Structure 1
Amino acid sequence: MSGEFTAEGGHGAVPTEGVETGQGVKPSRRAWPLYEVFVRGKRGLNHVHVGSLHAADDEMALHNARDVYTRRNEGVSIWVVRADAITASSPAEKDPFFAPAGDKVYRHPTFYAIPEEVPHL
């Protein structure tokens, strides 16, 4: 499969062909790079993808992400990552990409006899 892919919101990869990411372009107001924004909420430990934004540099992206995605104190931590720095697998490659784990039976304790004296294993 041709083309580049990036992760978006944990829903797999999406094509970025024809989408301006700012890669190789001197930042200007018209061609600011695209950033993906991840926020960690107060109740959880995981950062969750909440959206995207364009910014001139990393610091501006962080400040803009704070202003746009945490207006109601929803988060305790923010990550911003340039979209052109993300490498992701393609949903079309799901079966061949993850298939090698299936033939490693030693990773799954399905053939061990568990004694009855061992609780909650």
Structure 2
Amino acid sequence: MTTPTPASTEWPLWEVFVRSRAGLDHKHCGSLHASDAKMAIQMARDVYTRRQEGTSIWVVPSSAIVASDPADKDMYFDPAEDKVYRHPTFFTLPAAVNHM
């Protein structure tokens, strides 16, 4: 019989996102290990919203997140600099969206 390694007995890693107020976006605030999504939500509430500063919590398995490679920055982000029409500089924002 083989002895289990720490990696094989460790709970999955979850990324935690919290919305601080209605109308704002969710911000990544950290990671935690939990056995399932329900436990991850409960643990995220206990760890990241101790002062009732959140209105919504998202938890996502870290293994489900796909990210670009920082070495590919030019390929993803530099071409947009010459497209000024993509930037909101040609109109004024209404007061209702002043948090943007």
TM-score by length of 2: 0.69
Code of the residue aligned with 2:52 in structure 1: it is N
Q: Distance in 2 between matches of 1:87 and 1:100?
A: 21
What aligned pairs does 1:51-66 form with structure 2 within 5 A after superposition? 51-66=30-45
d(CA) in 2 for partners of 1:50, 1:44: 18
More helix by share: 2
1:31 pairs, out of 1, 4, 10, with 10
> Root-mean-square deviation (CA), in Å?
2.5
Report the Cα distance in structure 2 between the residues aligned to 1:56 and 1:36, rounded to whole angstroms. Answer: 13
| Unaligned stretches of 5+ residues in structure 2 | 1-6, 93-100
**Deviation beyond 6 Å, 4+ runs, structure 1:** none
Whichever structure has more strand as a proportion of its residues is 1
Give the residue type in structure 1 aligned to 2:69: S
* 1:75 and 2:54 aligned: yes
Q: Which runs of 5+ in 1 are unaligned?
A: 1-19, 110-118
Q: CA deviation at 1:31?
A: 1.7
Q: How many aligned positions are there?
A: 82
For residues 12-40 of structure 1, the C-alpha deviation after alignment (integer angstroms, 9 at most, x for no partner) is: xxxxxxxx6xxxx6xxxx32100000000
Q: Is the 8 A contact 2:22 2:55 kept in 1?
A: no
Which structure has the larger Rg over C-alpha atoms? Answer: 1
Q: Distance in 2 between matches of 1:55 and 1:78?
A: 15
Give the C-alpha shift of residue 82 in structure 1: 0.3
The aligned counterpart of 1:46 is 25
